[in-house]
Structure 1
Amino acid sequence: MHMRETNGFTLKKGRSAPLVLHPPDALIAVPFDDDDKIVGGYTCEENSLPYQVSLNSGSHFCSGSLINEQWVLSAAHCYETHIQVRLGEHNIKVLEGNEQFINAAKIIRHPYNRDTPDNDIMLIKLSSPAVINARVSTISLPTAPPAAGTECLISGWGNTLSFGADYPDELKCLDAPVLTQAECKASYPGKITNSMFCVGFLEGGKDSCQRDSGGPVVCNGQLQGVVSWGYGCALKNRPGVYTKVYNYVDWIKDTIAANS
């Protein structure tokens, strides 16, 4: 679930094998983090997360969250010129009858630095409003920043292995706590900005991973995080790093208002 790997870190976006891009552009078959799936999680109850969407460009490559009937929030590193948003999904390889496939009309990245990667957040305007029902509905934006120790739910169709690759067809879930900012910064010295936070387990074993990127971190019913990056997946002292949605609520509201 992270855009895990660029300049030594892994972006959790990805379409295929567990390949991590390193500075000399060498590809190696070890943990990568750029759109991963959940490691150490469980299969979500079908259609229990109606805000979860799959971003598709020939195949699933990232996730996002429906924040109103015509707008999806995702990660900037998930940008593609043509995106089909797939709502109401559980098994992304099977047509189950609840899906809505809607093309993106506008894709708006926050001014974003892929090298840091700060401001990893993006809005997608749907070409037509989603039909809201029991299997497709919105998630609330945060009214306060995420508090350390809060239990959150992370979800996605990303890689389920720390080493190697195994991409699930069914949506995976992981319950994990928000870490303190001190723990987060100690895990990634010099890399964590005020617009990032860590969720997970310092002992490793549970994390988001490739192809989870852009997906939701929901705490107490509010969308607190967007899957962004990390070093590998589920490694000791390398928790997942997430975009802090609270810092961007004004940008989100202003951008939607300006593009309605």
Structure 2
Amino acid sequence: MRTPRFALALTLALATAALPVLSTADAAPADKISVAATPTDQLRAADMGTRIINGERTTVKENPSVIAGMRVGGGGPQGQSCTASVVGKRKILTAAHCMVDTTGAKSYLYGDDDLNTPGDETFRTAVASFKAHPQYSGSGGWRTGNDVAVVTTVDDIPVPESQWAKVAGSGDSALTKPGKSGISLGYGKTSASGGSGELRKTTLPVNDPAGCQVFDIRVNGDLMVCTGYNDGRTADCSGDSGGPFIVDGVIVGVSSWGSSACDRYSIMARLTNAMGDWARAEIGGTQPGDGKFGIALSPSSGKADPGKHVSTSLTTTAGDQGPEKLELSASALPAGTTATFQPSSTVDSGQVAKLTMQTSASTQAGTYKVTVTAKGVSGSKTAEFTLTVGDGGTGDGPRPSASPNSGIVPPGGYANATITVTGGTGPIRLSGAGLSYSPTFSPQTINPGGTSRMTVMGPYQRGNHKVTITATDSTGKAGTTEYTLTVR
């Protein structure tokens, strides 16, 4: 039986896309899950595996907002612990776990491309205070998300306002759609035995979170961005935590957690949502713009019974070129639902529009992600509204499905699949039967429309084995689907 590969958070080193792609034999097997561990720089070298890979060297001159996070007892050169971004005169953006989950007095060092050669820096400052996101659950909270913090320094940081990092908000949700790609920066590890302290960068694709459930904790797409590759050909690693993930010149996430061997996906705390809005409010002042207008929804979620309506306010802000006409629209609405903008679907940037979503009596209960789009001459921006109809389920009972619906493993091997459940009422519990060892689900209880990661262990008897997956909702109604496991 193969042993699960251990995983941990990214206090993580950057891997380079310039290295050759790993062979199939070297790639992280899809039938294994990685177990999450503490996301700090305290990871021992012996835990790191042998395939941590280097990133491309870069400089502070090329990336003037990047800054090194230090702490007494930190594992990197000179006590380097995390990576961060300068976002104001005395403001720094990093991961909450860099501040909450570690001990030792913390400070920041600016201007050094290689921390292994002390004295090259241009500036050091201590931490005056910090604020972790209010929903970060304390030490180990990176497992559930909200892994972002804003730090206030004792001294002014010598970075001009024009070079402060731009931070995404809820109006920038299009920047973290699957298919986009971005740059990750960090001072983290580049080899199993160390090699940290050099500023490096790498390019990582944004993935659909449903395909990134290879860990023993769920990748929550509402609060996290799954980047990189499942074979870890390029990835963040220990020491990169808190570093920026930049798409189109904007920080859309901060490095949060991933595999202990740095050989699978890199998970970022997502800022293209209310988390980014919170960070921007804590930073204060005026965020550097991209020259375009901005939009935001308040509230960004709501509930309506079938035949009823729910409303939200769409606030628009003018860009550097002043007011412009914006065309407003809403898409991905559930069947039978209409969207109305008041006073009109055409507004000038800087104005506020009321969006009302009217469901019909036949609209099915469920949770839907509605995309609100504003288009102007300078481009377009999107924001996401979570619409819950009824109790979020249906009276028809839950309907589970498995993707993929089959797997091939050696005797005692592991296979994974994503279980999606539509319909049903209230919390839905998953169970499985048909094998000597019951499948495990992470999480085991989900809501209608939710997903869970199923892990099955192959028996030592070769052949085809049928696994029956059952979803049971709060009313006792149940639905099943089958998964075929082939042992060779």
Tell me, yes or no, if structure 1 residue 2 matches structure 2 residue 44: no
Q: Matched residues in 2 for 1:67 and 1:14: separation?
A: 23
1:164-183 correspondence to structure 2 within 5 Å? 164-183=192-211
Deviations 1:186-213 (A, max 9, x none): 3336512210111101232211011111
Separation of aligned partners in 1, 2:39 and 2:196: 15
* TM-score, normalised relative to structure 1: 0.80
Q: Tell me: CA distance 1:95–1:232, structure 2 relative to 1, closer, same or farther (3 Å).
A: closer
Show the counterpart of 1:141.
167
> Relative to structure 1, is the Cα distance of residues 215 and 11 closer, same or farther in structure 2, using a 3 angstrom cutoff?
farther
* 1:210 alignment partner in structure 2: 238
In structure 1, which of residues 211, 226, 241 is the aligned counterpart of residue 267 of structure 2? 241
The separation in 2 between residues aligned to 1:256 and 1:196, in whole angstroms, is 21
**Which position in structure 2 is the counterpart of 1:125?**
152
* 1:253 and 2:253 correspond: no
Show the counterpart of 1:42: 56
CA deviation profile, 1:2-49 (whole Å, cap 9, x unmatched):
147xx931344205632xxxxxxxxxx2228xxxxx834211145211
TM-score by length of 2: 0.44
Match of 1:110 among 121, 125, 133: 133
Higher relative contact order (CA 8 A, sep 6+): 1
Does structure 1 conserve the Cα–Cα contact (< 8 Å) formed by 2:189 and 2:197? Answer: no
**2:108 corresponds to which residue?**
85
What is the deviation of 1:92?
1.3
Give structure 2 stretches of 5+ with no counterpart.
1-8, 13-33, 73-78, 286-488
C-alpha separation in 1, matches of 2:249 and 2:215: 28
Match of 2:423 in 1: none
- Partners of 2:11 and 2:239 in 1: how far apart? 8
The answer to whether 1:196 aligns with 2:250 is no
The 8 Å contact of residues 35 and 216 in structure 2, kept in 1 or not, is answered as no
Change (3 A) 1:133 1:68: closer
In structure 2, the residue corresponding to 1:77 is in which secondary structure? helix
1:76 equivalent to 2:99? Answer no
Compute the displacement of 1:54 (Å).
Answer: 0.6
Is the partner of 1:125 in helix, strand or coil? Answer: strand
Identity of aligned residues (%): 21
Partner secondary structure for residue 218 of structure 1: strand
Say if 2:47 is the partner of 1:30.
Answer: yes
Are the counterparts in 2 of residues 75 and 227 from structure 1 also a CA contact under 8 Å? yes
Gap regions ≥5 residues in structure 1: 19-28, 33-37
Cα pair 1:2 1:10 within 8 Å, conserved: no
State the SS of the aligned residue for 2:204.
Answer: strand
Deviations 1:212-247 (A, max 9, x none): 111111111000111111122432xx3011100222
> Partner letter of residue 244 of structure 1?
R
* Alpha carbons 1:15, 1:60 under 8 Å: kept: no
Residue 452 of structure 2 corresponds to which residue in structure 1? Answer: none
- Following superposition, the deviation at residue 133 of structure 1 comes to 4.6
CA distance in 2, matches of 1:96, 1:48: 20
Q: 1:48 to 1:11 in 2, by over 3 A?
A: farther
Do 1:12 and 1:227's aligned partners in 2 also have CA atoms closer than 8 Å? no
Higher strand residue share: 2
Q: CA RMSD in A?
A: 2.7
Residue in 2 that maps onto 1:158: 188
Quote how far apart the aligned CAs of 1:77 are.
Answer: 0.9
CA distance, structure 1, for counterparts of residue 244 and residue 166 of structure 2: 11
Cα distance, 1:233–1:99 mapped onto 2, change above 3 Å: farther
The size of the alignment, in residue pairs, is 235
Amino acid at match of 1:60: Q
Match of 2:67 among 30, 53, 56: 53
Between the aligned partners of 1:68 and 1:76, the Cα distance in structure 2 is: 18
Q: Distance in 2 between matches of 1:198 and 1:103?
A: 32
CA contact (8 A) 2:165 2:250 kept: yes
Query: What amino acid maps onto 1:54 in structure 2?
Result: A
User: Could you tell me how far 1:156 is from its partner in structure 2?
Assistant: 1.1
The amino acid that maps onto 2:93 is: L
* 1:117-156 per-position Cα deviation (integer Å, ceiling 9, x unaligned): 421111100112212259x931101251212122211111
| 8 Å contact kept, 1:51–1:65 | yes
